[in-house]
Structure formats: C-alpha cells, structure tokens
Structure 1
C-alpha cells in the first residue's frame, strides 16, 4: 500500500469515488487530515478525510469509497 503525499492534492482537483463518479472538487486541505470540497449542489462545503484517498494522479483525487458511501459519510463544513 502506497502512502499518499498530501502535497500532491491540489486546489480544484476532481474528487472521484471508487465507482468512477465525480463527487466534488478540492477547495483546500483542512490541516493535514481533511480535504474541504468546493460547494456542492446543496450549497454546502463538505469535508472528507485524507484516509479515504487511494491515489492522486492526473489532477484527480481517487477515493477508496463509492459515491453513496462518500455522500453518506462526508461532514458539512
């Protein structure tokens, strides 16, 4: 298992769930363990833990959870 370098997570990178669905875009990092997403269709920012990140490549943040899990477990910011 590879370690994610949080410095590779860039502003406005697409956040892609394990099922291939785009669940948001990176707004910025909150500390070293949370990713704050840009406002969603509900008008809110959401936080997801960096621990959900499987890989960062091609300006995309790929997650280990599918979109349903992400949306049920993310926290409003």
Structure 2
C-alpha cells in the first residue's frame, strides 16, 4: 500500500480501466469521483487492498478483472 499514490491508474487483471487513485485510507484505495458511473458521483468508491495484484510504475494492477469490481460491490462484498 505504501507504493500506491494519488493519481495512479487502476486496471483490472484484464487490463481494463477501473479508476484513478484519490488516496489510501487504511486497507482501502479510495477512487476519484470522476471515474464513478452516472448516479454515483456524490460519493467515493473504494477497493480493498486484498484485490491489489501488483504496483508497476504508476499503475495499480488488480488480481481480478475490471468487470468483477462493481459486481463485488453490488453483492455487498468489501471492496
């Protein structure tokens, strides 16, 4: 988590864009609101550090596909 910095890109295991780092809060990465879908601009979304596969340069690579991130959130899983 110490390698994760503001404005880094976050991509899924499949290489698809997930979001942009707004900051790190505890064991979670806070995403910028700019990447939120319509209807979700009024709050931040978070990704649990358990989903981070690696940090390479200015990119955070997740261990799951990008499409899995919203599904995990909708199911109530801590992401």
Query: Taking structure 1 as the reference length, what is the TM-score of the superposition?
Result: 0.82
Structure 1 position 38 matched with structure 2 position 37:
no
Structure having the larger proportion of residues in strand: 1
Structure 1 position 24 matched with structure 2 position 19:
yes
Query: Structure 1: which 5+ residue stretches go unaligned?
Result: 1-5
Query: Stretches of 4+ moved more than 4 A in 1?
Result: none
Aligned pair count?
Answer: 69
RMSD: 1.3
38-47 vs 13-22, greater mean Cα deviation: 38-47
Shift of 1:29: 0.6
Query: Taking structure 2 as the reference length, what is the TM-score of the superposition?
Result: 0.80
